[in-house]
């Protein structure tokens, strides 16, 4: 089935995407970043799932990863922040370590709140976003600059926060897909819109089950389904925020997975 969907999708005309961003945010300077040999050659690439302010678990995960491979390049799938205990610390730590990060839906929310604070006199910042007030301008610039995908051609890998619609070129994928999609609704190709991205978990099927490759996609955003290892897509969001695990994976050589158990349940309720 997957092969058929991908085969059909590859023949459909590509609609040209209008690049916009949620909440009317300006686009980052580069939507799609490529890490070439000058960055990754001779190093182990370690991809880390959704952190959501879980700073202690992040430090432990990186410590354990560097015990395995001292020379690593770290790539984060986004949602570094919000709803967890130490969002600002996580932001500063990943910058200090020179991690490569893609933009998640929660980075967009943080930028929306920064804009609200800046332009709306007397804006009542919700309590859960008060951590934003401790950011330096350079931290905000860092979030503003985050791309929506990171490709590593030498490893045949793409890292995004949420996912992709099969049959659409990476450069033609909408930012809302890259940072929000969970499922795909299959509509008629002639009377409908073909493969339609959707972020509701109970409509359609997981996008990653339809993704045909050839690149392998590493992503997060789907704590409800948790770790998923499809033929050409691996989900690394294992709900640390909800008392699950923070997961990282070496994506060259060993494919070794390292997990750190959450120190506590930081958010109750159904994982998003
Ligand atoms: Mn997310």
Q: What is the pLDDT of residues 248-266, one digit of tens each?
A: 999 997 899 999 999 999 9
Provide the number of structural domains found in the chain.
Answer: 1
Q: Decide if 55 is inside a domain.
A: yes
Q: Decide if 16 is inside a domain.
A: no
CATH of the domain at 242: 3.60.21.10
Domain limits at 132?
Answer: 2-6+33-261
Residue-level pLDDT at 19: 86
Q: Is residue 268 very low, low, confident or very high in pLDDT (cuts 50, 70, 90)?
A: confident
Which residues, 6 or more positions from 70, have their beta carbon under 8 angstroms from its beta carbon? none
Q: Is residue 64 very low, low, confident or very high in pLDDT (cuts 50, 70, 90)?
A: very high
Residue-level pLDDT at 130: 96
Residue-level pLDDT at 9: 63
Output the CA 11–ligand 1 centroid distance in Å. 31
Output the CA 190–ligand 1 centroid distance in Å. 32
Output the CA 153–ligand 1 centroid distance in Å. 25
Q: Decide if 28 is inside a domain.
A: no
Output the CA 84–ligand 1 centroid distance in Å. 13
Mean pLDDT of the 174-191 span: 91
Q: Decide if 40 is inside a domain.
A: yes
Residue-level pLDDT at 241: 96
Output the CA 182–ligand 1 centroid distance in Å. 10
Output the CA 55–ligand 1 centroid distance in Å. 17
* pLDDT > 90 fraction of the chain, expressed in percent and rounded: 84
Q: Decide if 44 is inside a domain.
A: yes
Q: Decide if 19 is inside a domain.
A: no
Tokens of 181: 């999609």
Output the CA 80–ligand 1 centroid distance in Å. 9
Output the CA 104–ligand 1 centroid distance in Å. 6
Q: Decide if 268 is inside a domain.
A: no
pTM of the predicted protein model: 0.93
């Amino acid at each position: 089935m997957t092969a058929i969907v991908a085969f059909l999708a590859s023949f459909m005309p590509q609609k040209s995407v209008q690049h916009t961003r949620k909440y009317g945010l300006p686009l980052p300077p580069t939507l799609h970043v490529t890490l070439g040999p000058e960055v990754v050659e001779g190093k182990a690439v370690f991809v880390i799932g959704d952190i959501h302010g879980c700073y202690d678990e992040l430090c432990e995960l990186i410590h354990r990863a560097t015990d395995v491979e001292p020379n690593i390049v770290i790539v984060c799938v986004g949602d570094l922040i919000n709803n967890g205990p130490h969002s600002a610390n996580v932001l500063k730590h990943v910058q200090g370590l020179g991690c490569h990060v893609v933009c998640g839906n929660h980075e967009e929310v943080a930028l929306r709140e920064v804009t609200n604070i800046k332009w709306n006199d007397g804006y009542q910042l919700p309590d859960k976003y008060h951590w934003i007030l401790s950011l330096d301008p350079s931290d905000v610039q860092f979030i503003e600059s985050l791309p929506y995908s990171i490709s590593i051609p030498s490893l045949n890998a793409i890292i995004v926060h949420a996912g992709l619609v099969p049959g659409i070129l990476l450069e033609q994928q909408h930012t809302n897909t890259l940072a929000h999609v969970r499922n795909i609704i299959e509509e008629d190709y002639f009377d409908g819109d073909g493969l339609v991205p959707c972020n509701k978990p109970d409509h359609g099927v997981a996008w990653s089950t339809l993704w045909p490759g050839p690149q392998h996609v590493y992503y997060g955003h789907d704590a409800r389904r948790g770790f998923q290892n499809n033929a050409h897509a691996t989900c690394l969001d294992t709900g640390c925020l909800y008392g699950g695990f923070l997961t990282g994976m070496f994506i060259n050589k060993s494919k070794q997975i390292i997990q750190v158990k959450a120190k506590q349940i930081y958010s109750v309720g159904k994982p998003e």
